[in-house]
Structures are given as C-alpha cells and as structure tokens.
Chain A
Amino acid sequence: MKLSAEKLNQHSPYQLVQINDMAFGFVTDQHIQYKVGFYKYTYFMGDGSYLFFIDNIEHEHGTYDPKILDVVTLILEEFFNQEPTVMLYICDPTDQRQAARDRLYHLWFYDYARNHEMTLYSDSVTFKDTKYYTGILLRHDHPLHDKVLTYYQKFISHVPERYTHQEK
C-alpha cells in the first residue's frame, strides 16, 4: 500500500511531506511538528493490519487545532479507500495521558461525517502494570468485518491473563 502526499495535499489544510509510503510530516500554524502514519503489524492479521501513529515529536502543546483532525481524516480516508484493511491503535502511556488520547479517537469518530460506514471499537488492557488503551477501526464493508472484530476481542482478552495469573 502507498499513500501519496501529492494526492493528499490537494485537500490537506497542512502541507504533508512524504517520509515513506505510509508516513508523513507536517507543521501546524502553531509551528508544532507532527509525524503521522502507519506501521505494518503482522502479529494480528498477517499483512492485513496496520498500527496508526500520530506523534508530536517535541511534545509541544498548542491550543486546539481542528486542522490536525482534518489532516488525520484525509489520511485515514485514503488509507481505507486503498484496499480492505484494518487499522489498530495503541495510545502512548508514557505520560499517563493514554485515556485522554483514547477519548480523542472517539471524539474524532463521533464527529466524522462518514462514521456510519465505519466501526470503531476500543478496549483497555493492563499489561506489566501499565494500563493500555487500544482500538480497532475498519469499514463496515470489510469482507471479514465480523470475524475481525471477534478476533480482536479475543486477542485483547487473552493478553493480560498471563500477568493476572502471575500476580496471584
């Protein structure tokens, strides 16, 4: 799969710089640098799923910027238009703001004009004493939609068991 900055820049509010086939950089009006893109995650569906990341490299915090959400929406729409695929996310827990980040995914989804075409499901997992928020996003017309969701729920539900057991 390849996502094209040239194509996305026709509609993107911020100029995207192509870093690799599935990653871009952009700078906001508040001069904050972001990296955004996908990383193939072969431990879930072979080559059929990708982790989505958006990173504010310098960890700067500006005021609310709706253009960032517009960029994310454009990239995700292009991603899901390419082929039947699955997006996973796991919220960065390093500053204990993982729950807030998970809420941002849900707020984005709630506001997304085409959310009736998509499924967003998220869950939390306590793993090695850290609470992780992780989610899955896929189109309703994914040929394995129900199987993917069931498998995701099974996958997540099996993750912490070992560690719960060890703590006893």
Chain B
Amino acid sequence: MKYMTNMEDVFVHYNSPDEYANAFQQMIDAREKWREQIRQQEAQMAV
C-alpha cells in the first residue's frame, strides 16, 4: 500500500508558523466547505 511503500511522504510537512496556521485554518473552514458540498449535492438530487 501507499502507506507502506512511501512512508516518509505520507505526512505533509510545514516549515513555518504561517504554514501551520494555514493548515489549521483549512481544518476549521472544512466544516463550511463540507456543508456547502452537501447543500449542492442535495440540490442536484432534488432536480
């Protein structure tokens, strides 16, 4: 599996506080992105 053959490349590496902050902000923002994705897909299902 990918995990087993390329272990060191699995993790995303950050080199600065800004990069860590951005990654965490993306985690926070993901909830609303997920909600929007759900809304759009439900709208498509309703058509």
Which of B2, B27, B31, B37 is in CB contact (< 8 Å) with A43? B27
For the complex, what is the distance from the CA of A90 to the CA of B11, rounded to whole Å? 19
Tell whether, in the assembled complex, residue A51 and residue B34 are in contact, meaning their CB atoms are under 8 Å apart.
Answer: yes
- If A41-B30, A84-B1 touch, whether A19 touches B41 (CB-CB below 8 Å) is yes
Tell whether, in the assembled complex, residue A19 and residue B38 are in contact, meaning their CB atoms are under 8 Å apart.
Answer: yes
- A132 within 8 A of partner (CB): yes
Interface footprint category on A? 35 or more
Closest-CB distance, A130 to chain B (whole angstroms): 9
For the complex, what is the distance from the CA of A155 to the CA of B31, rounded to whole Å? 19
Q: Which residue of A lies closest to B22 (CB)?
A: A43
Contacts of A46 in B (CB 8 A): 9-12
- If A37-B34, A43-B12 touch, whether A158 touches B3 (CB-CB below 8 Å) is no
Task: Give per-residue flags for A83-126: 1 if the beta carbon is below 8 A from chain B beta carbons, else 0.
Answer: 11000101010000000000000000000000000000000010
Tell whether, in the assembled complex, residue A45 and residue B12 are in contact, meaning their CB atoms are under 8 Å apart.
Answer: yes
For the complex, what is the distance from the CA of A162 to the CA of B37, rounded to whole Å? 31
Closest-CB distance, B18 to chain A (whole angstroms): 7
Tell whether, in the assembled complex, residue B42 and residue A19 are in contact, meaning their CB atoms are under 8 Å apart.
Answer: yes
Interface residues of A in 34-48 (CB under 8 A from B): 35, 37, 39, 41-46, 48
Tell whether, in the assembled complex, residue A165 and residue B17 are in contact, meaning their CB atoms are under 8 Å apart.
Answer: yes
Interface residues of A in 11-34 (CB under 8 A from B): 19-20, 23, 25
Which of B1, B9, B25, B27 is in CB contact (< 8 Å) with A88? B27
Interface residues of B in 1-24 (CB under 8 A from A): 1-4, 7, 9-12, 14, 17-18, 20-24
Minimum-distance CB pairs A-B, first 7: A162-B17, A43-B23, A39-B34, A158-B20, A159-B24, A43-B26, A143-B3
B residues at A contact (CB < 8 Å): 1-4, 7, 9-12, 14, 17-18, 20-28, 30-31, 33-35, 37-38, 41-42, 45
Q: List 16 A-B contacts (CB under 8 A).
A: A19-B42, A19-B45, A23-B34, A23-B38, A39-B30, A44-B12, A46-B10, A48-B2, A127-B25, A132-B28, A158-B17, A159-B23, A159-B24, A162-B17, A162-B18, A162-B21
